[in-house]
Amino acid sequence: MIDMKFVTFIMVIALLVVFPPMSSIDGSDNSRGYNTDAYWGCPDFFIPENITLGDDAFHGTPFYPETWYAEAFFNNSYSMVFIVTIFSTYKGGMALTGLYLYRNGILEYEERTWTLSPNYEYSRDTPLVSIQGETLLEGWLDENGQITYRLRFENNKYGMHLILRNETRGWQGKMGRGWWLAIPELKVEGILILGGEHLSVTGKGYHDHNIFDLRSPLMERGYSDGKFQCHNLSLVWGKILHKPWDTDALAIVSNNGSFMSVPQETLVIRETAQIYDHGHPIPTELSIIIRLGEKINVSLIIAADNFHHIRLPFLHYWRYHVHVSGRIILEGKEHTIDTGGIMEFMRY
């Protein structure tokens, strides 16, 4: 989801006047045609639509940070979050990368790098970001027309070389003052590098791409979001904190290659347990309830196993490893949920 660890107003102001223009692998603009999917009602602030490969390319709106995010749970107790963020202005920009490796949900390794233009490249037609001649993120359509990604990052004897293959339909749309694209179910395989040791891994993954409005910290209080996969379905949820008495919520259920947007009036996301951390109340348990007649009924508990905090100017950010339990009933078929996932909480 949005990696606000990299977002500061100080950097953006510096970019306005200091850095020379960025280079582009292919400078042609991309004409993005969106096809609306069927959905069960729609939240006021988010209407999911189908995606194309080009939607996941660089959009390049000046002063709107743009992030490609990937996470994976591997078959050896490790999990990963990998992020590439680009800040662009009329005069230049900056690329930031971050790799976070966890073992049993506890942060074991963190690496963040900053690269100024013109030492990075991107594409406006396909997902593609390269830094100093090395491709970190690349996406293409396989022989079946499914989006496939290659991720590569290595530094200080830690890193990964991974292939992520789509197993469902992705979606995208405007969300609040920003934009969000997500592919919630990916099959992952490749190499995980731990202290110089190369380990073959498989697992499941998630990818999103978002564009963030820098005015949000001035106009909103924050957000929480999360996702999980279990059986042949996944659920992505989010809650935007506008004011203490004003929130918006969303939930997108993917099942057997289709996605369904849950009407906001049928969705309740409630914090059921809190603690204080770094001077702020943060959730440690949430419930998600969806009641939509015979089509979908959801009763879930999301409980924190581990989390870590990151402080930057103007914001606080927590990333959680969580346990998700409960049940989802889709058109009469009941699915028992007992799995792990990742959740985020942001306070401006």
CATH number at residue 225: 2.40.370.10
Cβ atoms within 10 Å of 109's Cβ, excluding its own:
19
Could you tell me how many residues make up the chain?
A: 348
Q: What is the pLDDT tens value at each position of the chain, 348 positions in all?
A: 544 444 443 343 333 323 333 333 333 333 333 333 333 444 445 788 999 999 999 998 888 899 999 999 999 999 999 999 999 887 889 999 999 999 999 999 999 999 999 999 999 999 999 999 999 999 999 998 999 999 999 999 999 999 999 999 999 998 777 899 999 999 999 999 999 999 999 999 999 999 988 777 777 788 999 999 998 899 999 998 887 778 889 999 999 888 988 999 999 999 999 999 999 999 999 999 999 988 899 999 999 999 999 877 678 999 999 999 999 999 889 999 999 999 999 988
- Whether residue 58 contacts residue 123, with contact meaning beta carbons closer than 8 Å, is answered with yes
Q: Give the chain's largest Cα–Cα span.
A: 59
Q: Helix, strand or coil for residue 83?
A: strand
Q: Given its phi and psi angles, is residue 79 left (phi above 0), alpha (psi -120 to 50 degrees) or beta?
A: beta
Structure tokens at 305: 């196993």
Sign of CA dihedral 348, 101, 83, 202: negative
User: Among the residues of the chain, which ranges form H helices?
Assistant: 9-17, 216-219
Number of domains in the chain: 1
DSSP code, position 60: -
**pTM of the predicted model over 0.85:** yes
d(CA 8, CA 12) in angstroms, rounded, equals 7
Residue 132 sits in which domain range? 4-347
